[in-house]
Structure 1
Amino acid sequence: MGLQILKESFEPQEYERFSKRLKESLEALRQVLERPGFGVGPRTIGAELEMFLVDSAGYPLPVNQQVLDQTTDPRVTVEIDRFNLECNLRPAPLAGRPFTAMRAEFESALAEVRRAAATQGARVAVMGILPTLREVDLGSRAMTGMPRYRALSASIRRLRGDTPFRIVIGGEDSLTLEWDDVTPEGANTSLQYHLRVDPADFARMYNAAQLATAPVLAVSSNSPFLLGRRLWDETRVALFRQAVDDRGEPQPGVPQHGRVTFGHGWARQGPLELFAEAVALHAPLLPVLSSESPLAGVAGGGVPRLDELRLHQGTVWSWNRAIYDPSAGGHVRIELRALPAGPTVVDMLANGALLLGLTLGLSEQVESLLPGLPFMCARGNFLRAAKEGLDAVLLWPERYAPSPRPVPALELVERLLPVARDGLVGAGVEAEEADALLSVVEARVRARTTGARWQRKMLARLEAQLPRPDAMAALLERYLVHAASGRPVHEWPLD
């Protein structure tokens, strides 16, 4: 988030000063981005992986701070709920064998978390939503005991006029839930990839990422259950939007924009417009000021930290988000936020290879593709992919009218695999590495199996003999055993 949060409530003048600083930061960012050569350099990738801590019976175990105290690994940190942890992997060059390096990072980080967790009687579950999660596991006692999380929850509630959060999700079953804080957001765990790009390439890369997200999500889904209900294949998408929604009662004639968003249109210029949009559309939640004067820093030839702008951007959860990083001379990245955690390291690497490869590959043709796909269709694709997974039919731009045209997600992913390969290899990834991971996706498509589909089928088998809560617990145990094997999910048996 850029700044440490040490207080939980704020005065009106603090919001005013913070808003003024945001305007100054946007101007500072504009000037920095106009500098010749700023942010130009080799492409790199990084990742963040969130996970659950569970007890011996498979239920959430709220001991993240105690687990963190048992490790000195700087990659490990806490998340919003006390049963969540996150690992921030070290960035690596994209050229060469980046996924081999990332696999080692994933495996070493997970091994260290598992070691530290075991000291507290905890196990680690890497999946989008924990099937054993209960309402009793949420609420104020579940929130990690840090001021930033309490302040975030209180600020969102303030903007909502203290109306409760209302979560409504339909699927095979339906869920309606009213809640008083943001702890349902901790029911989600995700895998986020970061791609460093040159500022001049940002708009076309970002638009390509927006195009790529829906088909990749359809073939990567791993979150079909919430609180005992069978919902979307990627229920996280619906839950996250509602769990941190700062919009109160609708006001006639006044548009309101949710903080969790797929976006509002294709990028036209670059990262500045996305930061400016976040500032214009969303009120500050955490108005903490740093000692830096952004414009003075730029005037002196330095690279400003832009702490306030980074903090604000961290409270606007675009599924693909612009990132400004002042370290090592400064650069910009695209944070690809839509993928779920799990099921295995090889699955997560395959998902990343497909998403990053498509972002790179589609960027070469994106200017000719966008006229054939209105942005509202791209947003619709994202929601259909989240809801229906492999069964989704997506609209895809065609070079000749009429465009767009409906294409089944499975067919579309097969069509796009060569584009992803070209994108990876063209960026310097060794062909053997790209082929190995994309072949995992190809096999998954042919088996018509994702983490979500495996979980649905397994629940149906178990529920024929067990009550649903017991079936969910038994499902999780089988999931953990198969995940520990390292075999990709399309090879998992249904036993």
Structure 2
Amino acid sequence: MGAEVTAREFTRADRRLFRKKVRSCVDAMKQMLDGGDFRDAVDKPAPLLGMEIEFNLVNGDMAPAMSNREVLESIDDAAVFQTELGQFNVEMNVEPGPLTGDATFELEKKLRASLDVADARIHAHDAEMVMIGMLPTLQLEHLDREWITANPRYELLNEQIFTARGEDIELDVEGVALPGSDVEILRADTNSVVPEAACTSMQLHLRVAPEEFAAHWNAAQCLAGVQVALAANSPFLAGKALWHESRIPIFEQATDTRTFELKNQGVRPRVWFGERWIHSVLDLFEENSRYFPALLPDVSDIDPLEVLAVGGVPELSELQMHNGTVYRWNRPVYDCSDGKPHLRIENRVLPAGPTVVDIMANAAFYYGTVRALVNAERPLWSHMSFHAAEENLHIGAKYGLDATLYWPEIGWVGADELVLRRLLPLADEGLADFGLSAAARDRYLGVIEGRCLNRQTGAAWQREHVARAEASGADRSTALTGMLRGYVENMRAGDPVHTWS
């Protein structure tokens, strides 16, 4: 959820000063880009696979376990596991590993081992971690304000969003019917941003040189709709069958500071795909400072331009704080490591799970395909409209592998066919360019191929399981609980989701 805040309340003067400091940070970044300050840090950066994974906590009867504080105390590894917005969430930061040779096998092995250790330590609390995009046993009563994690940043964020909005947040999602059933609709008002915590994701980080940032961001935007169609794992919330990847509409609505009237005026949403292809990373930071008022106007005493003037590297803390409250699906990140600045793209469209090998496969597909698109002789975004890329995101999220997406030179095509015919060879090419071994490419891209051939994502498996249970006479609550129990068993076994029966 971003950096900690030092203030507990904000004044009108804080907001004006924060706006001025964000502008100074943008000016400082422009100077750094023009002056080559990033060059030493990212001249041919080593390719690294970096990820954050969010988990839900459940107890023995598969209900949400509101125990993240106790769980984290038991795990006792603050460098890897942290709190998240909801008391039923924890987040895992995976140490970046090379995208070369067979190194991803070791990364996969370490990830499994970390999860096994964590799970063993938290069983005393009648809790276990579930990698899933949206916990199907979450009900509306679990999304109230009382279930926000006790952390000043989360409490302030909730307060500031509702102050900006001035009224309760409306959730309104029309679902995709289960086989043999009618379309279901979720309509509810909420007094907190906890519905955002229902959206558990895997975030992928890619460090790039400034001159290559725009191409990588544009490529990631092109790919977003395919990613969610291919990895959908969030079909249920509050007992309703919604989209295959319901995280997308729920997250968009859960942090929306706009009233109905502001939407009609065309005010940009804080969860944002964007509105254009970019030419520089500066385009994104300038848009963030221009369009979005501060939610957490926490101001430091450091002048970034003065730091630059004496040859230092500024932290740009106000820019980082503000950037953390604009939820782009592909978010630009400025950071410093070992006293050197760098830029990253944080890819935020993917759900967590279902298994370790599935998330490794999703990561490999993303990194490989983006690399190949960037290396292409003709940029894909030069003959694809930005609106088409955005439309693909929502179509892919709603229908999963049943989606029909737009792709240049092909037209409208099934998501599975697009991946099998066009994108898997590109992903293999891109991963080979990174230096990943043939064995590793075959393992992870083979999972993607199997998912398309079997037409079984995590969402498809969940929906089919619940539909069968209800056809046999189970009510929705029983069907969801039984499905989740089977999901957890399969997750523990570790076989990729396309092989689940």
Fold shared by both chains (TM-score > 0.5)? yes
What is the CA–CA distance in structure 2 between the aligned matches of 1:98 and 1:34, rounded to whole Å?
35
Superposition deviation, residue 108 in structure 1:
2.9
1:267 match = 278
Superposition deviation, residue 174 in structure 1:
0.6
Q: 2:97 touches 2:104 (CA, 8 Å); kept in 1?
A: no
Aligned ranges 1:287-436 → 2 under 5 Å: 287-328=297-338, 329-365=340-376, 367-398=378-409, 405-414=411-420, 415-436=422-443
What is the CA–CA distance in structure 1 between the aligned matches of 2:262 and 2:446, rounded to whole Å?
50
1:212 match = 223
Residue among 488, 491, 495 paired with 1:480? 488
Aligned ranges 1:266-285 → 2 under 5 Å: 266-268=277-279, 270-285=280-295
Superposition deviation, residue 350 in structure 1:
0.6
Aligned ranges 1:200-279 → 2 under 5 Å: 200-251=211-262, 254-268=265-279, 270-279=280-289
1:194 corresponds to 2:205: yes
1:71 corresponds to 2:79: no
Q: SS at the partner of 1:331?
A: strand
Q: 2:431 touches 2:441 (CA, 8 Å); kept in 1?
A: yes
2:167 match = 163
1:144 corresponds to 2:149: yes
Residues 1:345 and 1:158: Cα distance change in structure 2 (over 3 Å):
same
Q: SS at the partner of 1:46?
A: strand
Q: 1:8 touches 1:154 (CA, 8 Å); kept in 2?
A: no
What is the CA–CA distance in structure 1 between the aligned matches of 2:462 and 2:240, rounded to whole Å?
12
1:181 corresponds to 2:181: no
What is the CA–CA distance in structure 2 between the aligned matches of 1:330 and 1:482, rounded to whole Å?
42
Structure 1 segments unaligned to the other structure (5+ residues): 399-403
Superposition deviation, residue 330 in structure 1:
1.7
Q: Quote the sequence identity (%).
A: 38
Q: 1:62 touches 1:83 (CA, 8 Å); kept in 2?
A: yes
Residues 1:7 and 1:62: Cα distance change in structure 2 (over 3 Å):
farther
Superposition deviation, residue 3 in structure 1:
3.9
Q: 1:215 touches 1:409 (CA, 8 Å); kept in 2?
A: yes
Q: 2:143 touches 2:190 (CA, 8 Å); kept in 1?
A: no
What is the CA–CA distance in structure 2 between the aligned matches of 1:359 and 1:30, rounded to whole Å?
26
What is the CA–CA distance in structure 1 between the aligned matches of 2:263 and 2:352, rounded to whole Å?
39
Superposition deviation, residue 255 in structure 1:
2.2
Q: SS at the partner of 1:326?
A: strand
What is the CA–CA distance in structure 2 between the aligned matches of 1:440 and 1:389, rounded to whole Å?
16
Q: SS at the partner of 1:263?
A: coil
1:130 match = 135
Superposition deviation, residue 253 in structure 1:
7.1
- Match for 2:321: what amino acid? L
Superposition deviation, residue 371 in structure 1:
2.8
Q: 1:7 touches 1:148 (CA, 8 Å); kept in 2?
A: no
- Match for 1:94: what amino acid? L
* RMSD over aligned Cα atoms: 1.5
Q: 1:2 touches 1:307 (CA, 8 Å); kept in 2?
A: no
Q: SS at the partner of 1:291?
A: coil
What is the CA–CA distance in structure 1 between the aligned matches of 2:185 and 2:263, rounded to whole Å?
28
Superposition deviation, residue 124 in structure 1:
1.2
Residue among 450, 455, 472 paired with 1:448? 455
1:457 match = 464
Superposition deviation, residue 142 in structure 1:
0.7
What is the CA–CA distance in structure 2 between the aligned matches of 1:395 and 1:252, rounded to whole Å?
27
Q: SS at the partner of 1:34?
A: helix
Deviations 1:324-373 (A, max 9, x none): 11112121111111010010000111111111111111111274422321
- Match for 2:322: what amino acid? H
Q: 1:68 touches 1:116 (CA, 8 Å); kept in 2?
A: no
What is the CA–CA distance in structure 1 between the aligned matches of 2:197 and 2:16, rounded to whole Å?
30
Q: 2:102 touches 2:439 (CA, 8 Å); kept in 1?
A: no
Superposition deviation, residue 94 in structure 1:
2.5
Residues 1:216 and 1:53: Cα distance change in structure 2 (over 3 Å):
same
1:12 corresponds to 2:12: yes
Deviations 1:175-204 (A, max 9, x none): 001011101111110011101111111111
Q: SS at the partner of 1:290?
A: coil
Q: SS at the partner of 2:82?
A: strand
Q: 1:215 touches 1:385 (CA, 8 Å); kept in 2?
A: yes
Runs of 4+ that moved beyond 4 A: none
Q: SS at the partner of 1:349?
A: helix
Aligned ranges 1:43-54 → 2 under 5 Å: 43-54=47-58
Q: 1:159 touches 1:248 (CA, 8 Å); kept in 2?
A: no
1:88 corresponds to 2:93: yes
Q: 1:233 touches 1:388 (CA, 8 Å); kept in 2?
A: yes
2:26 match = 26
Superposition deviation, residue 466 in structure 1:
1.1
What is the CA–CA distance in structure 1 between the aligned matches of 2:255 and 2:406, rounded to whole Å?
29
Q: 1:7 touches 1:151 (CA, 8 Å); kept in 2?
A: no
What is the CA–CA distance in structure 1 between the aligned matches of 2:12 and 2:107, rounded to whole Å?
45
Superposition deviation, residue 99 in structure 1:
2.2
2:114 match = 109
Q: With structure 1 as the length reference, what TM-score do the two structures score?
A: 0.95
Q: SS at the partner of 1:163?
A: coil
Q: 2:219 touches 2:380 (CA, 8 Å); kept in 1?
A: no
2:180 match = none
Q: With structure 2 as the length reference, what TM-score do the two structures score?
A: 0.94
Deviations 1:20-52 (A, max 9, x none): 100000011111223331532223220000001
1:401 match = none
Q: SS at the partner of 1:330?
A: strand
Deviations 1:138-170 (A, max 9, x none): 21111001110110011111111x211001000
